[in-house]
Amino acid sequence: MLKPLLHDDPQHIAGYRLVARLGSGGMGTVYLARSPGGRTVALKTVHARIAADTTFRTRFRLEVDAARVIGGVHGAQVFDADPLADMPWLATEYILGPPLDEAVAGHGPLPETAVRAMGAALCGALGQLHRSDVVHRDLKPSNVMLSAYGPKIIDFGIARALGDARLTRTGTAAGTPAYMSPEQASGQDQTPAGDVFALAGVLAFAATGHGPFGGGQAADLLYRVRYADPDLTGVPPALAPVLARCLAKDPSLRPRTTDLLAELHDGHGEFADHLPAGLLSGIARLAAEVWQHRPERLPAPPEQPDPGPGATVPRRTGLSRRRVLTSAGLAATGVAAAGAGAWFWTGLLDRWKPGGGGPEETGWGKQGPLRTVWTNDTAEAQDRTPPFFVGDDLVVMGLFHLVNVDPATGRNMWELPISSSAHVVSDGSGLYYIRADAEGNLSLLALDMQTARPKGNVVTLPDLQTAAALICASDGTVYLVAGHDRRPEIEDRRLLAMDTVSGKLRWQVPFTDEEETPIGIGSWFAKAIRNVLVIGDFGDRVTLQARDRRSGKHLWTREIRNWMAETTAPVASGAELADDGTHLYIGASLIHAIRISDGAVIWEFGSFRDFGDEDLQSTTHYGAPVVRGGVVYAAEATGSVVAVDTRRGELLWEVPAPKDNLPRLASPPVLGPTHLYYEGESGLGAIDLHTHAYVRTLTASLHRFAVDRDKRLLIGVGEERMEALRME
């Protein structure tokens, strides 16, 4: 997807006119640009503060040299570059085609003929590098671009000449764990045989959709790469033995690229002849989009309040543990430009050593900045649904009942039978629920929090004797989805707005239109933000849509890729959607900043990070974020908590968690007065927002949090109990 330029992006860089943004991250920005003669290029720039690092400048220059070595047949042709400029830049061919990982995610594994043709072409590309005494060292699916004319290798950020150890430290590995060779994983010198090992992993991914050593944490991957047999399940039988030889632990047993090329393909036919029709159609649409795109520049954002103590940019020395420069992925169309990347660590198999100062143990004692107020093991909170406050009352949703808990003592005040969490919603000051009578007629009621009885009008919902689910309440209006539970046709889905005082229907509209798809009753959540109602779903394909709160008019729809994986469900209610009134911030494979008024993606964060499994667009890498004072905070699959500037999507700081309490992605962090709290694998972790120091605070397993209106009481739901913690 081509994203609009920001208000402070330059008009030109080195004579190239900027047309759109392709991607941006903590290291730099990649633009779609055009030369004075009309040539379309991918123009990569580096932030000035990163360019001040002499080691980075050396790597950037080596990247340019390696990209020139491979040339325009097997890579993105380099048109121009200036590694010595105040803001280093590189202008390359803009490749009309998706990276391999996005092609597989969007169209499924490639047929065997396509895998073989791609493998043979990549053998030619690697052979050209190796004949020039250059090794790539980071071949992976996201670094292979699929154009109609053949695959192209990109990302030469850690490529280097054979025997050149100027940028390599003893015992240090560089690359991507899921696709690096055993010798590379143990910190030894990388040879052409290591690139062959990585190539086999890439081909296995293309044929099956998964790498030969799975995914997960870097240390686990490195162990499997060094000691475990590759998993070639799903690889075509005739191809599996070829890849198995390439994946031999002993590099001397692997075939050379010249020998491998002949085993993979006979060279007949054009490369496009072997690609699936759907993938070819996507490439054609991309070509049209590039030439039809009309440049757009966003206006300057309104002034934000002072970011406060959590937004201080820490001093950093040397290279960070993320990509130096990477391919600019286009999430919607599956297009990327050439890039470069590096991830460095020391001895991950043997020990854990945090970078950038790492976690600090403080003298706060066993619980640090938290003090236990009470515990409650009788409320039986539903695991997925967070507790919430209605005024000063704490409400817990069980499987079939509501429980009102006294937030001061933790004592259960009353219980109310309820058939489903989809039948309860609160606007923070009142609680509303749906009740069905013996004949199935539905009524909307407001609940008296003192007596647990209905108060005010009991509103009978006309013509809704079938199914209805409350999704949001705000400013005197309750929003619900209704329709027939046995008839999923589009016309049977309705979105209604009911006045909570008069009980009158304000408006109702069909819940789906030409741009949307129907999803079952009870699968939705929503949040009211000014005049916009943002609605999301819990289906397999997570989609956000926006409606005008005054009329129900459809404003926009946007699909969020990989918002929820099997082990993560970052949003359980609309209240957990992070917004600052102007933008939504969504954690998925990337962190997305989405403008609420029109659904435009303003920036994406994460393209320049290394996640180990390197399946950037097919895996959930970020949990639901939280935003305050111009800073977005989120747990990251690397094991860190990151703080990102809301204006530009740039990294402000990151704090790696210790290996025994890595953050989980299943619930948003919580911001207290002075600390950020997150759900960890072994307990509740805390990060000081002033010093960015990590402090392990509580060993209890808590998740799904609520915070009182004074931001002092943190309520957490665990597997067997609830706990209230005072945030000091």
Residue carrying structure tokens 């006979």: 266
pLDDT of amino acid 380: 62
* Mean pLDDT confidence for 270-288: 83
The string of pLDDT tens digits covering residues 135-182 is 877 889 988 999 888 998 886 654 444 444 433 433 334 567 888 889
| Cα(17)–Cα(240) distance, integer angstroms | 47
CATH superfamily of the domain spanning 49-293+302-353 = Transferase(Phosphotransferase) domain 1 (1.10.510.10)
* Contact assessment for residue 668 and residue 641, using Cβ atoms and an 8 Å cutoff: no
Query: What is the pLDDT of the chain when averaged over all its residues?
Result: 77
Top-confidence residue, 129 or 248: 248
Inform me whether the pLDDT recorded for 239 exceeds 70: yes
Q: SS3 for 72-139, per residue? A: HHHECCEEEEECCCCCCEEEEECCCCCEHHHHHHHHCCCCHHHHHHHHHHHHHHHHHHHHCCEECCCC
Positive or negative torsion for Cα 692, 698, 702, 708: negative
What is the token pair recorded at 617?
């667009």
What is the token pair recorded at 38?
């009309």
Inform me whether the pLDDT recorded for 640 exceeds 80: yes
* Contact assessment for residue 290 and residue 337, using Cβ atoms and an 8 Å cutoff: no
CATH superfamily of the domain spanning 370-727 = YVTN repeat-like/Quinoprotein amine dehydrogenase (2.130.10.10)
Top-confidence residue, 310 or 225: 225
What is the token pair recorded at 489?
């046709």
Which of 9, 138, 195, 537 is the catalytic position?
A: 138
| Cα(629)–Cα(646) distance, integer angstroms | 9
Kind plus residue range of the DSSP H or E element containing 724 = strand 722-727
- pLDDT level of residue 417 (50, 70, 90 thresholds): confident
pLDDT of amino acid 420: 58
pLDDT of amino acid 336: 32
Give the dihedral of Cα atoms 403, 406, 409, 412; nearest 10 deg. -30
- pLDDT level of residue 269 (50, 70, 90 thresholds): confident
Q: Which of 15-29, 237-251, 357-371, 376-390 has the lowest mean pLDDT?
A: 357-371
Inform me whether the pLDDT recorded for 266 exceeds 70: yes
540 is catalytic: no
Inform me whether the pLDDT recorded for 485 exceeds 70: no
pLDDT of amino acid 175: 61
| Cα(18)–Cα(15) distance, integer angstroms | 9
521 closest CA partner among 559, 471, 564: 471
- The SS3 assignment for 490 reads helix
pLDDT of amino acid 576: 79
Q: Could you list the beta-strand ranges (E) of 538-630.
A: 543-548, 554-559, 578-579, 583-587, 591-595, 601-605, 626-628
Q: Could you list the beta-strand ranges (E) of 488-542.
A: 494-499, 505-510, 524-529, 532-537
- pLDDT level of residue 251 (50, 70, 90 thresholds): very high
Domain-wise residue ranges, the chain: 49-293+302-353, 370-727
pLDDT of amino acid 652: 93
Inform me whether the pLDDT recorded for 31 exceeds 60: yes
The string of pLDDT tens digits covering residues 510-553 is 876 444 444 455 567 899 999 999 998 765 456 889 999 999 99
* Contact assessment for residue 720 and residue 389, using Cβ atoms and an 8 Å cutoff: no
- The SS3 assignment for 712 reads coil
The partner residues of 205 in beta bridges, in order of sequence, read none
Q: How many helices (H) and strands (E) does the chain have?
A: 10, 44
Neighbour-count burial of 426, counting CB atoms closer than 10 A to its CB (0-12 exposed, 13-18 middle, 19+ buried): buried
The string of pLDDT tens digits covering residues 465-478 is 457 788 899 988 99
Top-confidence residue, 613 or 346: 613
Q: Which of 62-71, 620-629, 652-661 has the lowest mean pLDDT?
A: 62-71
Neighbour-count burial of 100, counting CB atoms closer than 10 A to its CB (0-12 exposed, 13-18 middle, 19+ buried): buried
The string of pLDDT tens digits covering residues 286-313 is 776 766 666 778 777 665 555 454 444 4
What is the token pair recorded at 150?
């053949």
* Contact assessment for residue 386 and residue 572, using Cβ atoms and an 8 Å cutoff: yes
* Contact assessment for residue 156 and residue 135, using Cβ atoms and an 8 Å cutoff: no
Statement: the pTM of the whole predicted model exceeds 0.85: no
* Contact assessment for residue 428 and residue 391, using Cβ atoms and an 8 Å cutoff: yes
509 contact partners, CB below 8 Å, separation of at least 6: 494, 495, 547, 551, 552, 553, 554
* Mean pLDDT confidence for 600-623: 76
> What percent of the chain has a predicted confidence (pLDDT) above 70?
74
- pLDDT level of residue 13 (50, 70, 90 thresholds): very high
| Cα(650)–Cα(408) distance, integer angstroms | 40
Q: 504 to each of 150, 229, 440, 481, 501, how far by Cα in Å?
A: 62, 66, 21, 16, 8
* Contact assessment for residue 32 and residue 94, using Cβ atoms and an 8 Å cutoff: yes
pLDDT of amino acid 347: 28
The string of pLDDT tens digits covering residues 665-703 is 878 899 988 899 998 888 888 999 989 989 876 766 777
